[in-house]
Chains A and B, each alone.
Chain A
Amino acid sequence: MSRESETDLERRRRAFAVLREALDIDDAERERWIDERCAGDEALAAEVRALLPAPRAGVLDEDASTIAARLLDEADADATLPAGAQIGAWTLARTLGSGGMGTVYLAARDGDGYAQRGALKLIKRGMDSAAVLARFRRERQILSRLEHPHIARLLDGGVSAEGQPYFVMEYVDGETLRAWIAQAHPGLDARLGVFLQLCEAIAHAHRHLVVHRDIKPENVLVAADGHARLLDFGIAKLLEADGATEQTATQRRFVSRAYAAPEQLEGDAATTATDVYQLGVLLFELLTGARFDNTRSAGAVSGWLARAQATADAATRKAVPATRLRGDAAIIVARATDADPKRRYATVEALAADVRAWRNGHPIAARPDSATYRLRRFVGRHRVASAAAALALAAILAGSTLALWQARKAAEEARLARSAQAFLSSVFDASSPDSAAGERVTARELLDRGSERIATELADQPRLRGDMQLTLGTLYAQLGQYVQAQHLLDDARTTLAQIEPESANATRAALELAAVQRQLGKTDDADRNLATAMAAAVTPELQSRALIERAQLRETQGRFDDALADARAALQADLARGAGARAEQARDRQIEALVLARQAQFEPAETAFEKAIADARAVYGNEDTRVALMLNDYGAALIEKGRSKEAETVLRDALAIRRKRLGNDHPAIAETEQVLGAALRAQGRLDETQTVLEDALRIQRATFGQRNPLIANTLNSLGMLAFSRREPTVCEARFREAMEIYTEFGLAGTPPAATAANNLATALVQLGRYDEAEPLMRRALDVHLKLVGENHPLVMSDLNTIGQLEMRRGNHASAIEHAKRAVAIVESGATPAREGAYAHLSYANVLNRAGRPQDALAEVDGAIATLEGISADEPRLPGARVTRAEALLGIGRVDEARTLAERALAEREQRMPNDAGGLATTHAVIARIADAQHRGADAARERDAARKLAMSMPTPDPYLLREIERR
């Protein structure tokens, strides 16, 4: 830096000056402001931007004098006492070592006619010496009883004349554990020998009810003959504070953080389990030569030690063959160092027994239940292990909460969970050697490993292979990996049908396959497989399940009446099965309700939802995840009805249950957050929408990785949000990413992908990029026509957007034709009320532009009546009033037009003050009204307001700009 040129320094000065000002600018404005301020000086702008990120917390957040005190204290650590100095009855001979806690001296005292040697540890930290002394007196009785060949005895202790506590231990000639390893190059047997000696020592202490609580390599001394001794027994306890009178920070200072058990870091009392943990850490270091690192990846227990060793010293690698570290050794260490004290070895003896067994090649005790044990630990509350992997597994095992549960029976879920559990635990064992430590293992990777192994290892066991393919296929489907799911389920169906065509699992495979094909948009294949399944379905339970699957297929195809008939037939069959089938009855009613809601038959839909939720509550209790799923879907239906406030309440209930049962990071949380986002967006609460959607995205990315169809759904919602915020560039990016994902997952021809394409097109239209938009719109229309027929709301929506595009291009005839077709679909019945009103509204707009204000007025009046029927707060009502005002202006009812337009402006300013585009449109209409009334000054002022608003948009809409200038 010192040799930088003057111009560099000059630039840094200017950057700093700009930064000072930039910090005063609003976040939203800042980027643009910097560009303007730097006026083309790219280097300067870059320098300013590099300075912008908020500073991390650091020394400047602390108090200088406090830091000074700490530094002084630390620097003092090296101030050692000279030989001959007197501490209590002890004369210091020389320094043995020093560390953060104090200095250790070789010391001697005269006793009963002979000089006794000892290692004197002088604690330098300022602390309540009187309390330490009192504790020492209390404990010394107990500590002096600890006579064991592998324990260095505590000889004395007290407080020096300077007020510093000290302890004297039996002086042991030897090396610390690490020095011993480095210098003596012990082999595996010698290392295990030392470890077992330490276990004996600790076990002895535990029998005398003493816990060491600070076992670490520095506290182990090994003599030349391999005799090991443990130092500092009970010292940590003596130095710890009693109760809450002293600060926890002080307390923790005496636990070596690298070796502390999780409960010690939490401030809980140390127990014998704490010592087991620390012995586990010690074993880790003895076997690997590496520092303990418990941030291993979840799928990698088996290769954990071997990987750690690969980074360690050559001597250890030579002494302990890496092949021996796989499997049992890793399991022993993992069990001893489990985050949950209750899951560790119950006693030090049990740990020692397993180490001996392993050394002699016998089966270890930790092994038999290792599969369930490890699953518990990873799915459970391990704080340090890869959270992503734990989540992914939780997602798989608690898969019942994902939407797929609808098509599955509770008992079967248990079977699925059991077999998945058994299989996945074996996947865990087969950790792949090339996955690096700390790598995040996603659920997808686990499944991939699993499906590879099915193919190779279960080749000669068709029934088991078929069952596993069914299990894994279902899990893939739950993770949105439909293409893989389809492969596996197809194989499963073939395999199982060859063994026994009418077996329950063969039918299940066909049903799952049909469900996946429905998701993939392969409705014909799904239909065929469903027919097979229905013919083979031998039990009433499978029959009704097949009906429900077909109901969902029909709904996807837009054949709502058929869907309703199937759902009701399933319900009748399950009602006939009595109270035992109440869970299925709830499921059937839920599907019935969903179909009714799609048909805009909200009242019967609501009744069905309420009954379904009541049934589910009766079967599962109030706070079950399956009840939450019902609430989730109910909330979605309420949004469609336009009752977004009620929806919000229901969805927050669902969210609360899911959070309580599943934690904050489960993909089911993301599912509800996504729906909640829609409810909030409908209420115009855009910032809250952003918050919940971003949390959903966070969860999904942590669980599924960067790309996944469910993530595409959330991106689509974020795109819609950006659309509401009139940020077309953000909008474009979100929709494009969503579309890429759909394509990548083979979902390009499905309704969600077509919807995303249509949304993207709408955003492009707002950016004036009509030629890019049109093919997307046409393709969406084609996909929808093919999938759902010509009378589906999706087709209506597509026609509508094409109409708007044609209107912007000035092709009024074509615009009218498309808008008219859209309205015709609305009139045919299947469209939800609000979407229907939107279609009429769009048609009215087109008619206004085409110079047919009288017809426009009729359309817009109908739309306003519908929207007011939904709620007085409908977000599009003010816009509808503007359209009506334009129509009134067109037919010469200018005064009415003015009153209405001004009312709309007031509503917009009050409810949607950030909607610059909407406000600009309104001002533009008011300006035209003023033109008609020859109020030139008013018109000019309104146009000016409109221009300013339009230009304040991140990307001003070119059509809007033209509209403003229109007279």
Chain B
Amino acid sequence: MPVSESATELLVAVENGDDDAQGRLFSLLYDELRRCAHRQLRGGGETLSTTALVHETYVKLVARETLRLESRQHFMALAARAMRQVLVDHARRIGADKRGGGAVAVTLDERVPDAPAEAAEVLALDHALGELERIDERAARVVQLHFFGGLSFVAIAELEGLNERTIKRDWQAARHLLAASMNAGG
């Protein structure tokens, strides 16, 4: 797939208030992250952490150009969002297949039982995170950046202009709230 616009160009456009560019950059990231994640399993090679994965995506899409710190941070935030979307979409697919496919008449072996459960948990997390966004936007952002974006607490602290301790506390409290609402939901 030819990349008509470079990620760098898109980023600049986004920062200039081009909402449309933001959408295009998001799709670009979405596809790239999805491909990377996919490769992990097929390749049978070593598994990359989210941090490494996002970083690889960054290097691949924009590395040759030097970006301002803010732009890089913007990229990371968008990558975290894209990763969340990748997870949610595929979790939904599994869930939908399970329901919509009806009873599979001939199953010559069993589905690995963990996958649908994990998919359900991802969807529950997404929902709970949505609630957290309404309750404490920053804490929700911390979860998105740390879990989905693989950003360290130090990096998030830098991005938010706060100290690391505050970010860690956000994460901790968020985990309590997410767990509680995931329990209530499930």
Contacts and interface: CB of A to CB of B under 8 A. Distances in A.
Q: Do A and B bind each other?
A: yes
A71 B123 CA distance: 12
Most A CB atoms within 10 A — which of B50, B105, B112, B131?
Answer: B112
Interface residues on B, range: 35 or more
Contact of B38 (A51, A69, A127, A179): A69
A72 interface: yes
B118 to A, nearest CB: 6
B34 A78 contact: no
Contact of B112 (A100, A119, A127): A100
A67 interface: yes
Given A65-B48, A68-B90, A16 B111 contact: no
A243 interface: no
B81 to A, nearest CB: 12
A367 B170 CA distance: 63
Interface stretch (B2-10, B18-26, B91-99): B91-99
B47 interface: yes
Contacts of B136: 13, 16-17
B182 interface: yes
A209 B65 CA distance: 64
Interface string B129-142: 00100111001000
Interface string B83-117: 11011001101100100010011111111111110
A776 to B, nearest CB: 43
Contact of A126 (B43, B135, B148): B43
Contacts of A258: 110, 113
Contacts of A231: 108
Contacts of A64: 50, 83-84, 87, 147-148, 150
A335 to B, nearest CB: 26
A74 B119 contact: yes
B36 interface: yes
B61 interface: no
Contacts of B86: 68, 72
A231 B50 CA distance: 40
Nearest to A58: B121
A253 B104 CA distance: 21
A256 interface: yes
Interface in B43-102: 43-44, 47-50, 52-53, 83-84, 86-87, 90-91, 93-94, 97, 101
A69 B108 contact: no
A97 B90 contact: no
Contacts of B175: 55, 60
A59 interface: yes
Contact of A99 (B50, B111, B121, B147): B111
A50 B118 CA distance: 25
Given A69-B37, A72-B37, A72-B38, A104 B179 contact: no
A70 B53 CA distance: 15
Interface string A1-30: 100000001001100110110011000000
B1 interface: no
Contacts of B172: 20, 23
A1 B38 contact: no
A75 interface: yes
Given A64-B84, A70-B114, A72-B41, 15 more contacts: A20-B170, A23-B172, A23-B173, A59-B121, A60-B125, A60-B175, A63-B150, A64-B83, A71-B94, A73-B38, A75-B94, A97-B105, A99-B109, A179-B105, A258-B113
B59 to A, nearest CB: 15
A455 interface: no
Contacts of A104: 106, 108
Contact of A97 (B50, B87, B104, B118): B104
B11 interface: no
Interface residues on A, range: 35 or more
A71 B172 CA distance: 26
A99 B94 contact: no
Contact of A55 (B42, B118, B179): B179
A896 interface: no
Interface in A143-188: 176, 179
Contact of A69 (B47, B106, B173, B179): B47
B113 to A, nearest CB: 7
B169 A70 contact: no
A179 B103 CA distance: 11
A207 interface: no
A696 to B, nearest CB: 32
A253 B112 contact: yes
Contacts of B105: 97, 179
A96 B38 contact: no
A65 B52 CA distance: 9
Contacts of A179: 105-106
A72 B35 CA distance: 10
Contacts of B27: none
B177 interface: yes
B108 A256 contact: no
Contacts of B44: 126-128
B156 interface: no
Nearest to B136: A16
B109 A218 contact: yes
A218 B110 contact: yes
B42 A126 contact: yes
Contacts of A127: 44
B36 A65 contact: yes
Describe B's contact surface by its main secondary structure.
Answer: helix
A141 B75 CA distance: 57
A235 to B, nearest CB: 9
A331 B90 CA distance: 46
Contacts of A58: 121, 125, 179, 182
A529 to B, nearest CB: 58
Interface in A200-220: 216, 218-219
Contacts of A53: 176, 179-180
Contacts of B173: 16, 19-20, 23
B37 A98 contact: no
Contacts of B113: 257-258
B88 to A, nearest CB: 9
Contacts of B111: 77, 99-100
Interface in A89-105: 96-102, 104
Contacts of A59: 118, 121-122, 125
Most A CB atoms within 10 A — which of B37, B111, B114, B180?
Answer: B37
B176 A24 contact: no
A740 to B, nearest CB: 34
B178 interface: yes
Contact of B110 (A52, A67, A256): A256
A121 interface: yes
Contacts of A17: 136
24 contacts: A12-B135, A17-B136, A23-B176, A52-B176, A60-B143, A60-B147, A63-B50, A64-B83, A65-B37, A65-B47, A65-B53, A69-B37, A69-B38, A69-B41, A71-B87, A72-B86, A72-B90, A77-B111, A99-B104, A99-B108, A101-B109, A176-B108, A216-B110, A218-B110
Contacts of A51: 176-177, 180
A523 to B, nearest CB: 55
A253 B182 CA distance: 28
Nearest to B96: A75
Given A176-B107, A253-B112, A71 B182 contact: no
Contacts of A102: 109
A948 B9 CA distance: 66
Interface string A79-114: 000000000000000001111111010000000000
Contact of A23 (B34, B36, B115, B169): B169
**What are the 8 A-B residue pairs with the smallest beta carbon separation, nearest first?**
A97-B106, A55-B179, A100-B111, A71-B90, A68-B37, A74-B115, A100-B112, A65-B50
Contacts of B114: 70
B186 to A, nearest CB: 10
Given A13-B135, A23-B169, A101-B109, A50 B41 contact: no
A245 interface: no
